[in-house]
Amino acid sequence: MMHDTTDVFVIGGGPAGLAAALAARQRGLQVTVADSCTPPIDKPCGEGLMPDSVAALRRLGVNLPMHEAYRFRGIRFLGGALSSEAEFPEAFGIGLRRTILHRVMVEHAERAGVQMMWNAVVTGLNDRGVLVRNQLFPARWIVAADGGSSQTRRWAGLELHRKKDQRYTFRQHYKIAPWSDFVELHWGPNCQIYITPIAVNRVCVALISRNSALRLEDALPYFPAIAERLRGVDVASVERGAVSVTRKLARVCTDRVALIGDASGGVDAITGEGLCLAFQHATRLAECLASGSLARYPEAHRSVALRPAMMARMLLLLENRETLRQRVLRTFVKDPRVFTRLLATHVGEGSHLDFAASGLALGWKLLTV
């Protein structure tokens, strides 16, 4: 059976696909989204939306239900006996259960007139459009938002990458009132745990390491303060694992297929910026689609991804270097303005130059601490 032609067919109805759909609708394009699952779709995630993610969502017309969410003021780093925190310069971040984010984005997309197809497995592409269980859906543009192991990327010949790195993650929710209005990043031996307050009675705990067999239960003894907090607390979800892939692709589009979200690369989960990247890319992609050409998308994609990629590199430098990590933490404790400046540039307040200047300031302090 042949279906009507749509302007944009989005493969994958996760946050990136829905953001792309919303942005394209803002430009007056007709949009269909297909996802093999049914909503609300869950996925292991730290569930923290940094202030720049919240702002990007707002630009897409999405209002978050604050009564189901939790505001956080900044980020706290903890390692050994040291702890330092930095507040966001102006706005706040939002912790929100992933299923709630998905539900809300679907509602907004439906209201905006996006055509949704759930339980719809995309099985291939051809020169006229997208095959859903081998039925053709003709489309002018195809947006691949089918996640880190995107098949569309392969079908479109965009698999070639310049860099790839991966780490393993496990996340679990606990039924406990948040003890802090900061996202906490705890540094341990070859692993990190970060804790996001996501509701008045819930926290989300995510473990990241290079050891695929390291589960939360095994890692907690390295983090006595967290183990103490969580002792005897009921879990609110099943522990779920995921791979956090950082991939730098050689190309993010052809002349009619564009990649977005984790399908288009991704940054290490430790940055907490994966969703923000997808939301910001969505707006830039829609501009290109509306202009009738994807020629500018690669540069737009690159410039949005630059800052989180630099931050990921900086954070991963500390991953296995206990002495350097302690020096950085001591620097932050001694001069919290350094951390505050770095965090501000991380969440998009300031230019790439500011970011470089903050990095240099940190470097100088490290030499002199």
Residue 234 Cβ, how far from ligand FAD at the closest point, in Å? 21
Q: Taking Cα atoms as reference points, which of 179, 152, 18, 182 lies closest to residue 98?
A: 18
Q: Which of 97, 108, 153, 171 binds ligand FAD (CB under 6 A)?
A: 171
Cβ proximity to ligand FAD: between 238 and 367 the closer is 238
Which of 147, 178, 265, 308 lies at the binding interface for ligand FAD (CB under 6 A)? Answer: 147
Instruction: Name which of 277 and 328 has its Cβ closer to ligand FAD.
Output: 277
**Bridge partner list, 91:** none
Q: Does 268 bind ligand FAD (CB under 6 A)?
A: no
Residue 36 or 280: the one with the smaller Cβ distance to ligand FAD is 36
Binding part of the chain for ligand FAD, among 22-30, 44-52, 185-193, 229-237 by CB under 6 A, reads: 44-52
Of 105, 96, 102, 106, residue with least CA distance to 67: 96
- The DSSP string of 227-270 is HHHHTTPPB-S--EEEEEEEEEES-SB-SSEEE-GGGG----GG
Q: Which of residues 49-108 bind ligand FAD (CB under 6 A)?
A: 53
Interacting residue with ligand FAD among 151, 280, 331, 340 (CB under 6 A): 151
Closest alpha carbon to 269 in 45, 32, 28, 15: 45
CB 138 within 8 Å of CB 2: yes
Among 44, 178, 188, 348, binds ligand FAD (CB under 6 A): 44
Where in 324-353 is the site for ligand FAD (CB under 6 A)? none
From 152, 134, 136, select the one nearest 144 (Cα to Cα).
152
Minimum Å gap between C-beta 334 and ligand FAD is: 28
* Run of H or E residues at 320: none
At 343, the amino acid letter reads L
Site for ligand FAD in 226-265 (CB under 6 A): 242, 244, 261-263
Give the span between the Cα atoms of 46 and 173, in whole angstroms.
10
The radius of gyration of the chain from alpha carbons, rounded to an integer in Å, stands at: 21
Whole-number Å distance between alpha carbons of 311 and 365: 18
Q: Residue 16, interface with ligand FAD (CB under 6 A)?
A: yes
Give the separation between CA 127 and CA 131, rounded to whole angstroms: 11
Q: Measured from the CB atom, is 79 or 308 closer to ligand FAD?
A: 308
Query: Is there a contact between 307 and 314 (Cβ–Cβ < 8 Å)?
Result: no
Taking CB under 6 A as the criterion, the residue among 114, 273, 315, 358 binding ligand FAD is: 273
Residue 117 CB, shortest distance to ligand FAD, in Å, is 9
- The distance of closest approach from Cβ of residue 136 to ligand FAD in the complex, given in angstroms and rounded to an integer, is 15
Does residue number 309 form part of the binding site for ligand FAD (CB under 6 A)?
no
Question: What length does the chain have?
Answer: 369
Starting at the edge strand found earlier in the chain, the sheet holding 182-188 runs 82-87, 74-79, 182-188, 191-199, 202-209, 161-174, 240-249
* CB nearer ligand FAD, residue 41 or residue 338: 41
Least distance from ligand FAD to the Cβ atom of residue 212, Å = 13
Contact flags string 104-143 toward ligand FAD, x per CB under 6 A: -----------------xx---------------------
| C-alpha distances out from residue 205 to 66, 97, 227, 267, Å | 20, 12, 11, 19
Which of 13/331 has CB closer to ligand FAD?
13
> How many angstroms separate the CA atoms of 261 and 55, rounded?
17
Among 6, 32, 84, 169, the residue binding ligand FAD under the rule CB under 6 A is: 169
Q: Shortest gap between Cβ of 338 and ligand FAD (angstroms)?
A: 23
Minimum separation from the CB atom of position 272 to ligand FAD (A): 4
Residues that bind ligand FAD (CB under 6 A): 11-17, 34-37, 41, 43-48, 53, 121-122, 145-147, 151, 169, 171, 206, 242, 244, 261-263, 266, 269, 272-276, 278
